[in-house]
Amino acid sequence: MLRSLLPQVLRAKKLALASAVTAAVALPQLANAELVFNKISTFDVMEGNGSGVAEITDASGNGQQLVYTDAENSQIGFVRIANPYQPKAQGVMDLDGEPTSLVLRGGFVLVGVNTSESFTNPSGKLVIINRFSREVVREIDLGGQPDSVAISPDKMTAAIVIENERDEDLNDGLLPQLPSGGLMILDMKGAIADWTLRQADLSPVADAAPAGSDLEPEFVDINDENEAVITFQENNYLAVVALNTGATINHFSAGSAIINNVDNEEEDLINFDTTLEKRREPDAVTWINNDVFATANEGDYEDENGDQGGSRSFTLFHQDGSIHYEAAESFEHWLASMGHYLDGRSENKGCEPEGIEAGVFGNKNLLFVGSERCNAVGVYDVTSGTPVPLQILPTGIGPEGLKAIAQRGLFIASTESEVADDGIPTMINVFSLKDSKPLYPSIESKFVDGTPIPWVALSGMAADPADETKLYAVSDSFLAEGFIYTIDNTQRPALITERLQVTGASADLDLEGIAKAEDGNFWLGSEGNSDSRPNLVLQVSPQGEVLQEIQLPAELVDQRRSNGIEGIAVTGAAGAEVVYVAIQRAWPDEGDVDGVNTKIGRYDVATGTWGFVHYPLEAEGMGGWVGLSELTLLPNGKFAVIERDKGWGPSTGPVAELKALYTVDLANADFRPYGETLAMVEKSFLYDALPILEKRSIWTAEKLEGFAVTPKGRVFAVTDNDGVDDATGETVFLRLGVWKQLVK
């Protein structure tokens, strides 16, 4: 039951504002906005400072230094961004415990440090550090495990959430698990030695919250009137505290949200066809103005009935508990339209909005919503009170530390996760608000009947031989079914307008190549593995039905490895087609101890015969193995291949050295049956795509996999985002001009 202690003066203030609940708005196309955020730099905290993660980040008053928490290494890290285009490492400082949150005040850093020896015996302290000398000025015992620290706009008060988190392995993680948490208030008048700590009165919350004997507060933010809003995530509850008195002036349930047309099954497909009602369970919270705050509804609790919270949304609340705006499914749909949807989280809170931040940039009040699982931040204009979506910004894996540095026109996103085996470290990305065109997204999908066409992991790409405006792409084995996507290349961003499922295949598909023949049929290359999935050439009708399947010669199949058919091209009229396929990497019989040869195959449809040539791969460098990723017919009758490295060296870590295009003359090549000594085809360098990928990517995209040339010679390329699974999730769609101009 809602119990309100809101004073009459606040009721009057609220009545003066528009209080109608607004529905989630349709997402407009972001045109050439007057001001947009673009990434200007990326700081690798592992390489730069030796850190493990960069979870919570704050900035100095002049916006020229960042300080972040690294609980993994019990450190805080420092980064100088006086020149935001070139962040400079400033090292780390060791702490006696795990830093959970921090804020900057003048020359000092206030860090909440968890020193708990167990869940039942939590402890922690506030450590005050001189950020110039790196000396500890004072430590204040907090009596429990801190989780979030906020500072008032006037810098005179700090609020410290004491979470005393639950043991998720005890009693299935069910609450209550004592001791309970609370809110500590630090009055910062005079010298640091004179600062005093007191406890807020959260007893009204404890009397009303579902597990009130175990509050577990999560996050706190403070408005200009020295009022703190606190989230109680597991309790699905919110409270507003007057920091001058420590009294709870209002508290209420965060309630539940109905979300329509979402994916609730982890079946390696993306189907937006389910309606759910979920407890919001907010994590981070930020004030929009002195009356309205926004919550990121991540969810973190599974109740005794097995129902898991988290509404995949964000919500704007008036501080009396009424809802000003509910995003519902719109945030997740927006992310999915840009390929940022991780199906592996469909049954478990979806995109998981976790971080949220607001900032006033000029005359615009902007809201930043971070998706932990979809690796992106949504930017909204909330100046009018109703969020208007502006941009999606890619961030790296697991954005949690969001910081608006409005006075410098900067936005910071730091990530809490690293996937070392995949070459993607924890990073801090710096975005600048500029009068320019947005660099991201470069491709997105159309909304049909209220939901986006779902897509991820674009692989091979081809042009329509009769329509200058159309491209086609396929998605690989990240999805359980094979799909062909139609792309309108005249739109900016490029627009996926249709999705066609491939049906009737005899085996699971890993579509890596696509070409369209003169008769309108598609030719697809499906990559096999070393076990059960065969390498297949598929002829597919315009309706998506498999018309015929062609396998590689049986004696060659015996030599196969997981890196098989990766590109496909076709020439000739119906019934007399010649189909070419590129094998990504050397198979065991290539006859080269360095493994620098692979094969290109030629299949004559009329005779049903295969022939092969060797292709000379570049030598492996710091970026790991080298292979082919595409095969495309050029207007002059020659063929282009993408040759790339893995982007990760076994001893060096993440290194991208080779993302290039080469040409080969296959029409005049000496193709021979498998088993004979194969001829080596000659290649010519065409284009180095690495510089533009470095510029357009948050983290240089590993998989440049699609390349297409239109009838008029316009060139397009695309990267594979690995389905957002242990990957940044960004897809880079490149417009490279006219193919003849690629050669310098």
| Cα 438 to Cα 67: distance, rounded to the nearest angstrom | 28
φ/ψ (deg, to 5) at 610: -105, 150
Query: Which pLDDT score, from 0 to 100, does residue 289 have?
Result: 97
Cα 404 from Cα 412, distance rounded (Å)? 6
How does pLDDT run across 412-441, given as a tens digit for each residue? 999 987 665 566 888 999 999 988 889 999
Q: Residues 599, 707, 397, 483: what is their CA dihedral angle, to the nearest 10 degrees?
A: -90
Q: Per-residue pLDDT for 652 more than 80?
A: no
Question: What residues have CB less than 8 Å from 194, skipping those under 6 apart?
Answer: none
Range 517-526 average pLDDT: 96
Give the pLDDT confidence score for residue 591 in this predicted structure: 52
pLDDT digits (tens, 9 = 90+) for 455-499: 999 999 999 999 999 999 999 999 999 999 999 999 999 999 999
d(Cα 553, Cα 548) in Å, to the nearest integer?
16
Q: What is the pLDDT of residue 532?
A: 83
CA nearest to 580, candidates 590, 591, 566: 566
Phi then psi dihedrals of residue 47, to 5 deg: -70, -40
Percentages of the chain per state (helix, strand, coil), in multiples of 5: 10, 45, 45
Q: Which residue has the higher pLDDT, 621 or 279?
A: 279
Exposure string for 206-244, b = 16+ CB within 10 A, e = fewer: bebbbbbebbbbbbbbbbebbbbbbbbbbbbbbbbbbbe
Q: What rounded mean pLDDT belongs to the chain?
A: 92
In a 13 Å sphere around the CA of 21, the CA atoms on its Cβ side amount to 10
State the pLDDT confidence band at 12, using cuts at 50, 70 and 90.
very low
Domains in the chain, ordered, with CATH? 22-443 (2.130.10.10), 455-741 (2.115.10)
pLDDT category at 621 given cuts 50, 70, 90 is: confident
**How would you class 134 by CB atoms within 10 Å of its CB: exposed for 0-12, middle for 13-18, buried for 19 or more?**
middle
Give the pLDDT score at 38: 95
645 Cβ contact list (under 8 Å, min separation 6)? 620, 621, 623, 624, 625, 626, 655, 656, 657, 658, 659
Number of Cβ within 10 Å of residue 106's Cβ equals 10
Q: Which residue has the higher pLDDT, 719 or 14?
A: 719
Phi, psi angles (nearest 5°) of residue 314: -130, 155
Cβ atoms of residues 446 and 452 within 8 Å: yes
Q: What 3-state class would DSSP assign to 208?
A: helix
Tokens describing residue 115: 């020193």
Q: Render pLDDT for 328-387 as a digit per residue (tens, 0 to 9).
A: 999 999 999 999 999 999 998 999 999 999 999 999 999 999 999 999 999 999 999 999
Confidence grade of residue 590 (pLDDT, cut at 50, 70, 90): low
Residue 743's pLDDT band (cuts 50, 70, 90): low
Average pLDDT over residues 589-613: 83
Rounded to 5°, angle at Cα 317 from 54 and 231: 45
Q: What is the DSSP secondary structure assignment for residue 555, as one 8-state letter?
A: H
Q: Which of 450, 290, 271 is nearest to 346 (CA)?
A: 271
Contact 51, 90 (CB under 8 A): no
Percent of the residues in the chain that have a pLDDT greater than 90, as a whole number: 84
Determine the longest span between alpha carbons in the chain, in angstroms: 91
pLDDT reported for residue 188:
98
Read off the tokens for 622: 């710091």
**Cα(684)–Cα(507) distance, integer angstroms:** 36
pLDDT at 7: 34
How far apart CA 395 and CA 489 sit, in angstroms, is: 25
- Rounded to 5 degrees, φ, ψ at 672 are -130, 155
| Distance in angstroms (rounded) separating the CA atoms of residues 251 and 3 | 7
Burial bucket for residue 557 (CB in 10 Å: 0-12, 13-18, 19+): middle
Q: What is the mean pLDDT of residues 533-561?
A: 92
User: In the numeric block, which tokens belong to residue 208?
Assistant: 């009303």
DSSP state of 436: S
Please give the Cα distance from 303 to 306 (Å, whole number): 5
Token pair belonging to 59? 């900035």
The pLDDT of residue 650 is above 80: no
CA distances (Å), origin 494, targets 28, 405, 712 = 15, 31, 18
Beta bridge partners of 43: 428
- At CA 470, angle to CA 467 and CA 475, rounded to 5? 140
Give me the pLDDT at residue 11, please: 34
**Residue 100 in contact with residue 112, Cβ under 8 Å?**
yes
Q: What is the pLDDT of residue 647?
A: 81
- 522 CB contacts (<8 Å, ≥6 apart)? 472, 484, 514, 515, 516, 538, 539, 540, 541, 542
Residues 6 or more apart whose Cβ sits within 8 Å of residue 575: 605, 606
pTM score: 0.93
pLDDT value for 425: 83
> So what's the pLDDT on residue 595?
58
314 touches 324 (CB < 8 A): no
